[in-house]
Amino acid sequence: MICVKFSDDMGKNEEGVHLGGPRREFLRLLMDTIARSAMFEGKENCKNLALDSTALRGDWYYISGRAIAVSLVHGGPPPNFLSPTVFSLLVGNSANPALEDIADLELFEKVKKISQSTTLEDLEKSKEPLLDYLANAGCLRPMRSLRDRDLLVHDIVMFQVIHRVQGPFQRFCEGLKTLGVLEKMRRHPDSFRPLFCYEPHMLTADQVDDLFNIHLSPEGSNRRAAEEMVKILAFATGATAVPPIGFSPAPSIEFIHRGDDDFSSTPIFPLANTCVNCIRLPLHVSYQLFKEKFDFALGNTYGFGRV
């Protein structure tokens, strides 16, 4: 397993035993950085490969594919920002991108005018601003009917979204072969699709209840009665979603009672130890007070080295 240590501005490493929290945090930050990089373009949660000369020169497409494979295997988050078009190509299927997959807004508007042409005269006029582009893309040809319009739009989209980025795509695939991930993707595409393509997902109370082992005081004690009044709103493990391989160790919840040795130093806010996936919850006299303190703690925790 990868061992990750975060350091402060002076280069001093965090203290403590590494049990997975820093690794998950690092992989989460890595996936976010890859998604925002110049190697990808398009909508936030539906991105296609972009053509970037700096990334090609540095072989970043290969590195990003390798990083994604490592994240999946080592308990990090999945890269669920890729478009269905890219995923289909990754698993060896054909793809049929739509006009909306063109991320270049200027090019999109010009191609859209071509698609909206209703006469051959309009088609020729809307084609003129793209003559150089069409020549480079191998799409420059006479238009003899409106059927040629649809074929032209299709060819432009295929070139812009797929053919133009074949070099980056091949290096990305080579990176995904790390640890056998691409091979497994092609064997089980339905299982991997939700990991690579975004699907809206909200963490529910039932899922939290299933994830956490709650360490309660003995039944019948005053402490047990107070603990059973607590409701869990969110949890912090260093990951924003359940990793594809699950959590190890399993998430747990402990309670801080007034009078415990360390309660005086943390009298009102919850504590999270992402290395062991454990939340320690202080007990308050009202749910509203608990909610306020929990929300404040979550809102003011920015990750390793940035608290």
Pairing of strands 271-273, 213-214: unpaired
Identify the DSSP state of 216.
P
Q: Cα separations (Å) of 244 from 53, 78, 83? A: 33, 7, 19
What CA–CA distance (Å, rounded) separates 232 from 204?
10
Beta bridge partners of 273: 278
- 221 C-beta neighbours (distance < 10 Å), count: 11
Q: Residue 272, SS3?
A: strand
pLDDT value, residue 278: 76
Q: Which residue has the tokens 């929290």?
A: 21
Contact call for residues 279 and 271 (beta carbons, < 8 A): yes
Q: Which residue has the tokens 């402490």?
A: 223
What CA–CA distance (Å, rounded) separates 216 from 152?
67
pLDDT value, residue 189: 96
pLDDT value, residue 234: 37
Using alpha carbons only, how large is the chain's radius of gyration in Å? 26
Q: Which residue has the tokens 């062991």?
A: 276
pLDDT value, residue 173: 98
Q: Cα separations (Å) of 121 from 1, 27, 117, 213, 237? A: 64, 54, 8, 70, 61
What CA–CA distance (Å, rounded) separates 157 from 168?
17
Q: Which residue has the tokens 């390798």?
A: 66
What CA–CA distance (Å, rounded) separates 198 from 47?
10
Q: Which mean pLDDT values do the consecutive 10-residue runs of the chain (307 residues) have?
A: 78 63 86 95 94 96 97 91 96 94 95 94 93 94 90 96 96 97 97 90 65 69 56 49 68 71 59 73 76 72 46
What CA–CA distance (Å, rounded) separates 230 from 223?
12
pLDDT value, residue 90: 97
